[in-house]
Amino acid sequence: MSATTQPVIDHQGAHPLDDLIRTDRIPHIWCPGCGTGTAFSSCLKAIKATGIPYNQFAMVSGIGCSGRAAGYIKLDSFHTTHGRAIPFASGIKMARPDLNVIVFSGDGDLFAIGGNHFIHAARRNMDMTVICVNNLIYGMTGGQVAATTPSNAKTTTTPFGNPDAPFNLPLMAYAAGASYVARWTILHVRDLTNAINEALMKKGFSFIEVLAPCPVNYGRRNKQKSLDTLKLYREKTIIRNGADPARADIDFDRGVILGTFIDRDRRTCDELYDATCRRNED
Amino acid sequence: MKPAVRTGNHYITGDVACAEGAIAAGCRFFGAYPITPATEVAEHMAERLPDVGGTFIQMEDEIAAMASILGASWTGVKTMTATSGPGFSLMMENLGLGVCTETPCVIINVQRTGPSTGLPTQTGQGDMMQARWGSHGDYELIAIAPSSPQDCFYHTILAFNLSEKYRVPVLVMADEIVGHMSEKVVIPDAREITLVSRPKPKGRKDRFRLYEPGPNGVAPMPAIGDGYNVHVTGLTHDERGYPVMTVEAQEEMMTRLKGKIRNNLDDIIQTEEYRMEDADIVIVSYGISVRTGLTAVDEARRLGYKVGLFRLITVWPFPEQAIHAIAARVKGLITVEINLGQVHYEVERCAHGQAATYLVGDAGGKIIHPDKVVSLIQEVFQP
């Protein structure tokens, strides 16, 4: 995977994404080998590429490693309670439908404690972009089993292996009604950036799952060194746009499908509210 | 659009009066989840809000309803939700986020009897201590208790005004009887209603600090899109709003959060007195139980006792000094509330041994009969 074509550092030492970063909050908290930073910078590039003025965006995060993204982005940004980023963001969107609302959070936050909010926002086609950094684990609390942890994987709370099955996130998003569903890994930076850009420009509920390594709390207990995870992303993934999300289970032995699963048009929650509830009695 | 203020004489329930008060106060976003006996607030808002340019959304649970009104508030809109016991419990975590991030919003709690599912259709005042400190951590907020549908209208406006002024969630602690009873409610002309809106920041945006207090201890609040690039977090934060994980930052933040309420008690606290001039026995009450107290005062006076009533409109922050001063000049204080002792212990604390304190409480489900108060007076006092 080649690096982005943009220069990473220019002569003055400024980063091309500095205008979107709270540089006074750097260094960030993410561990060496963590994938969240890569997903975050893809998100920043995608925001920049829209050409939309920055004050027309808001980012909302929940709690967890990925949830810290809201604290580093130089937009109106909200670091809320565990699992509740989506309903907080729904309040923003419905009160100010002209804003572009991004939810950036982790798999534990969005799909365990916050799972109910996810399916209802998708059902309503709430016009927002939800980016889920899926590292298969609760990272910030030290590596406990998540709703996305593969069966049999070792975590601090599944010391004998995970007895449960994980969620298939693209299938859930599709079944609940999302307008746009994609999955990439942090190794596929350009595809990921393009997908986030597409999602931002798409009207309706957009969901992007980003597979990201957690070498400290997942890899260490499951015989995956930092580069091993990236090798899996390169060798055991299949890019197949338009694939059936029912086949999107994460099983690196069989191969993990990446790409855009769903891209469909449906009226959004705010459009339907206006059309249904605002009576014109002129 | 239809007029926001329905000026005139109405015969409506307390729940509907709360909704009309909210709309008159400028509330334009309501995050709902149905629950008895507060559902009618949501139903009325669902019908009214679109016609006044507002937005109603029924969320998937009370956690989401509370989260939605916080998010919506940061767009610069006045926001509200309404609930009862079980839903109030579910709102507690995000209520704390509202306190910590200084987000104005109003929560109506039409109380029923608990614990747990309790008596869903019957009255109670058992959530008063939960209103005080039900979310984790130490904090201050404001809670108001209406005694009638007319109060529901005005107290909801008061709640919005205090919430906007002090950037704090404000609770309207109604109950099933006040919420469901119909009475005459007079809605004045819009010009006669005083409205307060959160202060907006002025000056250079690059020098802006999100929580830099103004003269009354409250920071001006920008809206999303104003160009201030705010960062809002429930982590302990400094005046910039940035997370700072130190005990010093915690102390500074707590001083600000508590100070803006504690240093403005005279402006916040409202009470009312009835036949207190010569009273040596004082009934302390709030909400629906004030009506028990008023009748008990008249009845006990007929029997020769010098009884008065001290009504808490604002229950939190508690009118500590007023209770302390009353206790210094009376024989006894009787708290009347539909629980088995919550605000009573606050009265006892503030009386500080200067006067005897008594509770006329109830396990819940019914209004307390005035005879119960009069009997206690006859039992322990001489006329």
List pLDDT tens digits, range A127-139: 999 999 999 999 9
Identify which of B56, B94, B233 has the shortest CB distance to residue A71. B233
Residue B235 has pLDDT above 50, yes or no: yes
CB atoms within 10 A of CB A221: 16
| B334-356 average pLDDT score | 98
Please state, in angstroms and as integers, the Cα–Cα distance from residue B278 to each residue in A183, A229, B324, following that order. 76, 81, 17
Residue in the block written with tokens 């009226």: A267
Q: What is the pTM of this model?
A: 0.97
Euclidean distance between CA atoms A14 and B309, whole angstroms = 69
Q: What is the pLDDT of residue B206?
A: 87
Residue B55 has pLDDT above 80, yes or no: yes
Instruction: Inform me whether the C-beta atom of residue B208 falls under 8 Å from chain A C-beta atoms.
Output: no
CB B192 within 8 A of CB B54: no
CB B190 within 8 A of CB B5: yes
Residue A40 has pLDDT above 80, yes or no: yes
Identify which of B50, B56, B71 has the shortest CB distance to residue A88. B71
User: Is B320 buried (19+), middle (13-18) or exposed (0-12) by CB count in 10 A?
Assistant: middle
In chain B, ranges of CATH 3.40.50.920 domains? 270-380
Give a yes or no: residue A53 inside a domain.
yes
Q: What is the pLDDT of residue A136?
A: 98
Residue (of B29, B264, B324) closest to B142 by Cα position: B264
| B284-312 average pLDDT score | 98
Instruction: Inform me whether the C-beta atom of residue B98 falls under 8 Å from chain A C-beta atoms.
Output: no
CB A16 within 8 A of CB A68: no
Q: Report percent pLDDT > 90 for chain B.
A: 97
Q: What is the pLDDT of residue A282?
A: 45
Cα torsion through B268, B272, B277, B281, rounded to 10: -100
Give a yes or no: residue A65 inside a domain.
yes
Q: Taking CB atoms and an 8 Å limit, are A95 and B75 in contact across chains?
A: yes
Euclidean distance between CA atoms A206 and A202, whole angstroms = 7
Tokens found for residue A136: 């298969």
CATH class of B270-380: alpha beta
Adjacent-strand bridge partners of B119 = B113
The angle subtended at Cα A54 by Cα A50 and Cα A56, nearest 5°, is 90
Q: What is the pLDDT of residue A280?
A: 62
Give a yes or no: residue A21 inside a domain.
no
Give a yes or no: residue A155 inside a domain.
yes
**What range does the domain containing A200 cover?**
31-277
Euclidean distance between CA atoms B275 and B99, whole angstroms = 37
Q: What is the pLDDT of residue A226?
A: 85
DSSP at A31: P
CATH class of B8-192: alpha beta
| B322-346 average pLDDT score | 98
Task: Give the residue from chain A lying closest to B50, CA to CA.
Answer: A278
The complex scores an ipTM of 0.97
Give a yes or no: residue A233 inside a domain.
yes
Task: Give the residue from chain A lying closest to B74, CA to CA.
Answer: A92
Euclidean distance between CA atoms B333 and A269, whole angstroms = 54
Euclidean distance between CA atoms A93 and A121, whole angstroms = 11
Give a yes or no: residue A221 inside a domain.
yes
The angle subtended at Cα A122 by Cα B83 and Cα B77, nearest 5°, is 50
Give a yes or no: residue A87 inside a domain.
yes
Tokens found for residue A188: 């596929």
| Cis peptide upstream of residue B86 (ω within 30 degrees of 0) | no
Q: Give the residue from B43, B80, B224 with the most A CB atoms within 10 Å of its CB, the best one to mutate.
A: B224
Tokens found for residue B50: 């679109």
Domains: count for chain A: 1
Q: What is the pLDDT of residue A100?
A: 98
Tokens found for residue B227: 């160009």
Q: Taking CB atoms and an 8 Å limit, are A75 and B229 in contact across chains?
A: yes
Instruction: Inform me whether the C-beta atom of residue B68 falls under 8 Å from chain A C-beta atoms.
Output: yes
φ and ψ at residue B279, rounded to 5 degrees: -70, 140
φ and ψ at residue A254, rounded to 5 degrees: -90, -20
Q: What is the pLDDT of residue A201?
A: 98
Give a yes or no: residue A6 inside a domain.
no
Q: Taking CB atoms and an 8 Å limit, are B71 and A96 in contact across chains?
A: no
For residue B52, what pLDDT band results from cuts at 50, 70 and 90?
very high
CB B248 within 8 A of CB B129: no
User: Is B194 buried (19+), middle (13-18) or exposed (0-12) by CB count in 10 A?
Assistant: exposed
CB B97 within 8 A of CB A80: yes
In chain B, ranges of CATH 3.40.50.970 domains? 8-192
Euclidean distance between CA atoms A264 and B328, whole angstroms = 73
Write the CATH number for A225.
Answer: 3.40.50.970
Q: What residues in B contact A96, CB-CB < 8 Å?
A: 75, 77, 224-225
Residue (of A165, A146, A145) closest to A154 by Cα position: A145
For residue B203, what pLDDT band results from cuts at 50, 70 and 90?
confident
pLDDT in tens, B135-188: 999 999 999 999 999 999 999 999 999 999 999 999 999 999 999 999 999 999
CB pairs under 8 A between A and B: 134
